[in-house]
Amino acid sequence: MAPPAPRIRPPLARTKSYKGEAVIFLTAGMSTRENLFRPIHKGLRSMIFLLGQRMGTADFTQIAETNDLAKQLRSDLAKSASNCILCLLQAHSLHEDKDFFAAVLPFDEDPVRLMAAEHAVIVRRIYQVAKQCDELMTITDPARRIEVGDRLLLETNDLFAFYLAHLNNEEALLVPVMWENFSDEQLRALRAQFYNMIPLEVFEVWMRWTLPALNVHELVTLLSGMRTDPPPNRFADAMRLGKATVPHDRWAEVERSVAA
């Protein structure tokens, strides 16, 4: 049976189909308020777009090159955190289940239920892509590699199309609930809890995608909030990664604003 539609909080509401049912999605518009999802989501979108370009231009008859691409998708996070695209996506979903979703649940369980269902779909699709990667890496015949590579491309496109829609849904459903029930100070504390619990090497992977994907205002908001986080404070690490990954002119403006 389809889950019930979330409660409507006008005026920030839009209707969308979910498993054949009309569901009210809440629109999180532009705001100066703390948005826990927007930064990491922008990083994930950037990562997906770049990976999609690599997948689209891959010649699967080139064994070494495309096996490396398959390994990048497939590798275990603990073994190769900085290169595991699929593990990064799955880890993002699992952390949200434990942190952000748990915080929203007491106030409105309907959007949490909807997003948890989508997370389950993402995990299943990641597993399917991983199986295709495993199969591709066992094949040497060029014609078979093209066949399996095409199937891998379709599976990956399905995964990322669903994941991109899911990121939008999370922001539309959960951010308004958070803004209604938490102050910015409380949201920054929740974000600090989220970042502080993950290993530094995983935080670095996420920030290498996230920081270059943000505009100056978003970078200043994120980094200014991180300055006062409790230990282990990630501010210095984020500033180091920003300097290494954000274009120089944009980063210089961010540094001036954060230091002010």
Residue 242: the pLDDT is 97
Q: How far apart are CA 248 and CA 120, in angstroms?
A: 39
Three-state DSSP class for 21? strand
Q: How far apart are CA 163 and CA 182, in angstroms?
A: 26
Q: Which two tokens stand for residue 214?
A: 């943000």
Residue 206: the pLDDT is 84
Residue 188 near residue 103, CB atoms below 8 Å? no
Residue 74: the pLDDT is 73
Q: Which residues of 143-160 are buried (b: 16+ CB within 10 A; e: fewer)?
A: eebeebbeebbebbeebb
| Tens digit of each residue's pLDDT (9 = 90 or more) over 227-256 | 888 888 999 999 999 999 999 999 999 999
Q: Which two tokens stand for residue 174?
A: 């959960």
Q: How far apart are CA 119 and CA 65, in angstroms?
A: 31
Query: Could you count the other beta carbons within 10 Å of the beta carbon of residue 203?
Result: 21
Quick check: 6 pLDDT over 60?
Answer: no
Residue 220: the pLDDT is 93
Residue 134: the pLDDT is 92
End-to-end, the C-alpha distance of the chain in Å comes to: 54
Mean pLDDT of 85-106: 60
Strand partners for 111: none
Residue 101: the pLDDT is 63
Q: How far apart are CA 245 and CA 225, in angstroms?
A: 20
C-alpha angle 219-187-108 in degrees, rounded to nearest 5: 130
Q: How far apart are CA 225 and CA 189, in angstroms?
A: 9
Where along the chain do its domains lie? 32-259
DSSP class of 235 = H
Three-state DSSP class for 18? strand
Q: Which two tokens stand for residue 138?
A: 């066992």
Q: How far apart are CA 225 and CA 29, in angstroms?
A: 20
